[in-house]
């Protein structure tokens, strides 16, 4: 039987206007990329929310593991000196 479940799941990304990133908005089922893009237009841009659409098969998306996120992101947590606020700037110094 032909089911929408037989169709792959596609993740949809929309660029709302020129100069901004594509942003994830949701997913949908479609038999191929072309139809996924056309369906995404109808589902996610009925009020001019987008000027460009990306779709990617959900199977092709790889994610970091939330269970390990503490350890995984720890290297950046412990390096406060990467932020400008770490440094003392003497009074009277400007443009820095």
Partner 1 sequence: MKEISLVDLENRFQKKVDSEIRIEPNDWMPEEYRRTLIRQISQHAHSEVVGMLPEGNWITRAPNLRRKAVLLAKVQDEAGHGLYLYSAVETLGADREQTIDDLHSGKAKYSSIFNYPTPTWADMGAIGWLVDGAAIMNQVPLCRCSYGPYARAMVRVCKEESFHQRQGFEIMTVLAQGTPEQKAMAQDALDRFWWPALMMFGPNDDESKHSKQSMKWKIKRFSNDDLRQQFVDVTVPQAKLIGLTIPDPDLKWNEKTGHYEFGEINWDEFWQVVEGNGPCNFDRIKARKDAKEKGMWVRKAASAHAAKRAARKTA
| Residues engaged in binding partner 1 (CB under 8 A) | 2-7, 9, 26-32, 34-35, 42-43, 46-47, 63, 65-67
9 vs 69: CA distance, rounded Å = 26
Task: Classify 73 as helix, strand or coil.
Answer: helix
User: How many whole angstroms separate alpha carbon 17 and alpha carbon 27?
Assistant: 20
Smallest separation (angstroms) from partner 1 to the CB of 65: 7
Q: Which CB atom, from 34 or from 59, has the smaller least distance to partner 1?
A: 34
- 74: Cα separation from own chain's centroid: 22
**Nearest distance from residue 27's CB to partner 1, in Å?**
5
Our CA angle for 19, 11, 36, nearest 5°, is 95
Residue that the structure tokens 């400008």 belong to: 84
Beta carbon of residue 86, minimum distance to partner 1 (angstroms, whole number): 26
Q: Kindly tell me which of 22 and 29 has the beta carbon lying closer to partner 1.
A: 29
Q: For residues 67 and 94, which CB has a smaller minimum distance to partner 1 in the complex?
A: 67
């Amino acid at each position: 039987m032909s089911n929408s479940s037989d169709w792959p799941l596609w993740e949809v990304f929309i660029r709302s206007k020129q100069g901004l990133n594509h942003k994830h908005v949701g997913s949908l089922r479609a038999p191929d990329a072309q139809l996924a893009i056309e369906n995404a237009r109808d589902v996610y841009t009925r009020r001019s929310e987008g000027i460009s659409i990306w779709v990617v098969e959900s199977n092709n998306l790889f994610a970091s593991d939330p269970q390990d996120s503490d350890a995984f992101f720890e290297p950046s947590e412990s390096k406060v000196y990467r932020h400008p606020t770490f440094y003392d700037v003497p009074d009277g110094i400007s443009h820095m």
